[in-house]
Amino acid sequence: EAGVVQSPRYKIIEKKQPVAFWCNPISGHNTLYWYLQNLGQGPELLIRYENEEAVDDSQLPKDRFSAERLKGVDSTLKIQPAELGDSAVYLCASSKDTSRNTGELFFGEGSRLTVL
Amino acid sequence: RKEVEQDPGPFNVPEGATVAFNCTYSNSASQSFFWYRQDCRKEPKLLMSVYSSGNEDGRFTAQLNRASQYISLLIRDSKLSDSATYLCVVLAGGSYIPTFGRGTSLIVHP
């Protein structure tokens, strides 16, 4: 079974430029998460989807961040414009359970963003 | 106060040692608890769930103390390959949002 796939693995951009990350979850997983992880910190939730619906996005900085999950499968996370403080690893995860997440999260390898 | 707190360490122990980590959580309505392992520059992976009655998986034992709102992870007979960051994860009741601690770094040396 294929795992969660993310791209790109690495991205270096100058500040004020846009950037987009893509995630393909495990087949059949209805719940998809985007987390941000800074060095030495744990992952912090940005947004959670149940199928196409964003059910938790209170931590997403909506002035510059946007996300979508068309058809309830793949998802993209966009930053426009990027700031120096956005440098981090962006992790996508998926899980089987929807309304009651008592299951395991499966993470992709992450997209490491460096903003210069 | 953060929802999930962990001592970042590092815990530096020799092979064969027993080491324990604690994780405290602030939301008394938290329902489910997990330990994840994250190797350097890799993604987190589930190590074990934490049940109310405690559970053991080989050299690893996880326990939950609801009264004091903490969970623990005990590693016996540490191996070099146990070197990693151990992340505590708590699911709050109602929202079921998986909230991660900052992780505890373990370094096992020869």
- pLDDT tens readout for residues B49-83: 998 888 999 999 999 999 999 999 999 999 999 99
* CB-based contact A102 B91, cutoff 8 Å: yes
Distance CA A77, CA A73 (A): 13
CB contact under 8 Å between B43 and A102, yes or no, is no
Among partner residues B4, B43, B97, which is closest to A56 by beta-carbon distance? B97
Beta-carbon contacts of residue B94 (< 8 Å; ≥ 6 apart): B29
Q: Inform me whether the C-beta atom of residue B7 falls under 8 Å from chain A C-beta atoms.
A: no
What is the C-alpha to C-alpha distance for residues B82 and B73, in angstroms, rounded to an integer?
13
Residue-level pLDDT at A114: 98
- pLDDT at residue B1, as a whole number: 67
pLDDT at A6 > cutoff 50: yes
A71 φ/ψ sector (left φ>0, alpha ψ -120 to 50, else beta)? left
pLDDT average, residue stretch A3-7:
97
Q: Give the residue-averaged pLDDT of B22-50.
A: 93
One-character DSSP codes across B8-77: ---EEEETT--EEEEEEES-TTEEEEEEEEE-TTS--EEEEEE-TT-EEETTEEEEEETTTTEEEEEE-S
- Number of A/B CB contacts below 8 angstroms equals 49
**pLDDT digit string (tens) for A80-97?**
999 999 999 999 999 986
* Chain A residues within 8 angstroms (CB to CB) of chain B: 33, 35, 40-45, 48, 56, 91, 99-102, 104-105, 107-110
A17: CB partners within 8 A, 6+ apart: A81, A82
- Check A104 against B46: CB less than 8 A apart: yes
| Chain A interface includes B90 (CB < 8 A) | no
Q: List residues bridging with B20 in a β-sheet.
A: B74
Q: Looking at the predicted structure, is the pLDDT value of residue A1 above 90?
A: no
B35: pLDDT confidence band, cut at 50, 70 and 90? Answer: very high
Q: What is the structure's pLDDT at A99?
A: 44
Distance CA B104, CA B70 (A): 14
Nearest CA to A13 out of A90, A84, A91, A109 is that of: A84
- Check CB contact under 8 Å for A40 and B8: yes
Confidence of residue A70 (pLDDT cuts 50, 70, 90): confident
pLDDT of residue A73: 92
**8 A C-beta contact, residue A21 and residue A90:** yes
Contact A40 B102 (CB under 8 A): yes
Instruction: Please give the pLDDT value at position A103.
Output: 62
Write out chain B residues lying below 8 Å of A109, CB-based.
Answer: 42-43
Confidence of residue B40 (pLDDT cuts 50, 70, 90): very high
Residues in A closer than 8 angstroms to B42, CB to CB, are 109
pLDDT at position A98 over 60? no
pLDDT of residue A40: 93
